[in-house]
Amino acid sequence: MINVAVFGAGRIGKIHAGNLVLQPGANLKYVSDVNVQAAQELATQHGAQVTDIDSALADPSIGAVLIASSTDTHAELILRAAAAGKAIFCEKPVDLTLERAKACASAVAAAGVTCMIGFQRRFDPTFDALKTRLAAGEIGDPEMLIVTSRDPGAPPVSYIKSSGGIFKDMLIHDFDIFRWILDDEAVSISATGSCLTDPAIADAGDIDCAAVTIRSRRGRLCQINTSRRAAYGYDQRFEVLGSKGMLQAGNHKPTEVVVSSGLSVSGDKPEHFFLERYRAAYAREIAHFFDAVVNKVAVRTTIQDGVKALELAEAATLSWRENRTIELAK
């Protein structure tokens, strides 16, 4: 039995807690949140106790922590949990600054603890199956990767202001997809963007659509397009052109109903947003983390992956701001 503490009882914290308690051998012991009522509700639901972070980390019976609190707390909690020798699952991003993220990675390495970053898309059944088939050589060598990553609607401008901008907030997932799918690193990145949906986003110093091109070390090309507003829902697709064919990951739909009317033949829109689209991914992600902790095996999405994705996000931000291609250190 491994005792676990969850830091953060918001939307994503609830999901992780719910998935954790399904793992045989896992015991959700503590829930902590600055919102005490939220913490209490989540604790009650799973028979856990509310406590503060200090106490949770000081409890030697705690083997692992799930960090699902606000982004600005991630780095500090990783550092403290690593110092306390706990296995760590932390939501992306590690931090909004590359420097602090690297410091966390160093601390984790020094402490020798398991640390997994929540790039849940790698655990999506469709994306994961695509990766497996690509790795098995089904389409030969990959040459191009085209990623479409669009949200159904923009978050409040207040959120955008502290989000680190579209590249760190939204595209960090896509940068991880690039590295994971191509099993390659970027040598250059070029980004441009616009604010077309809401002037308040521009006033907040951000953009709402972006187009990114990455060259990899092996000369492969990756294009990412994103928007904060897709009227038809959460659009999460990518395709890989290889020397022998193409693999595409399509959107998931709530049902397989199709209607033929006097106007058209219509199916469902994509799953509305990340909680629906990545439900299975979240479950598989926590199962993987817990399995890694129990069996002391490597996690698939390391803190180093978190650092690398952040590097790309910073470079993309710079490219957009200075309107030039950014070369990345090898």
**Binding residues among 136-175 for a second copy as defined by CB under 8 A:** 138-141, 143-144, 146, 148, 150
Cis, bond preceding 93 (omega within 30 deg of 0):
yes
* Cβ pair 70, 64 in contact under 8 A: no
Torsions phi, psi for 239 (to 5 deg) = -140, 145
The single residue listed with the structure tokens 């110092």 is 83
- Taking the complex as a whole, how short is the minimal distance between the CB of residue 93 and a second copy, in angstroms? 24
Nearer Cβ to a second copy (161/229) = 229
Measured distance CA(90)–CA(260) in Å, rounded: 45
Q: Which listed residue (40, 49, 97, 197) binds a second copy by CB under 8 A?
A: 197
For the bound state, the minimum distance from the C-beta of residue 34 to a second copy, rounded and expressed in Å, comes to 26
CA angle, residues 115, 120, 126, in degrees to nearest 5: 140
Rounded CA gap, 299 and 290, in Å? Answer: 10
Residue with tokens 């059944």: 125
Show contacts with a second copy in window 8-67 (CB under 8 A): none
C-alpha span between 44 and 195 (Å, rounded): 44
The residues in 288-327 that bind a second copy, with binding defined as CB under 8 A, are: 323-325
Other beta carbons within 10 Å of 106: 14
Task: Tell me: does residue 255 bind a second copy (CB under 8 A).
Answer: yes
Name which of 162 and 243 has its Cβ closer to a second copy. 243
Closer residue to a second copy, CB minimum distance, 229 or 300: 229
Interface pick for a second copy out of 35, 159, 250, 276 (rule CB under 8 A): 250
264 part of the interface to a second copy, by CB under 8 A? yes
Of 207, 233, 268, nearest in space to 153 by CA:
233
CB of 7 to a second copy, least distance (A): 25
Q: Contacting a second copy (CB under 8 A), which of 54, 245, 276, 297? A: 245
> Per rule CB under 8 A, is residue 227 in the interface with a second copy?
yes
Out of 16, 252, 288, 308, the residue judged to bind a second copy by CB under 8 A: 252
Q: From the list 42, 94, 130, 160, which residue makes contact with a second copy (rule: CB under 8 A)?
A: 130
Is 70 an interacting residue with respect to a second copy (CB under 8 A)?
A: no
Q: How far is CA 160 from CA 109, 206, 236, in A?
A: 32, 8, 21
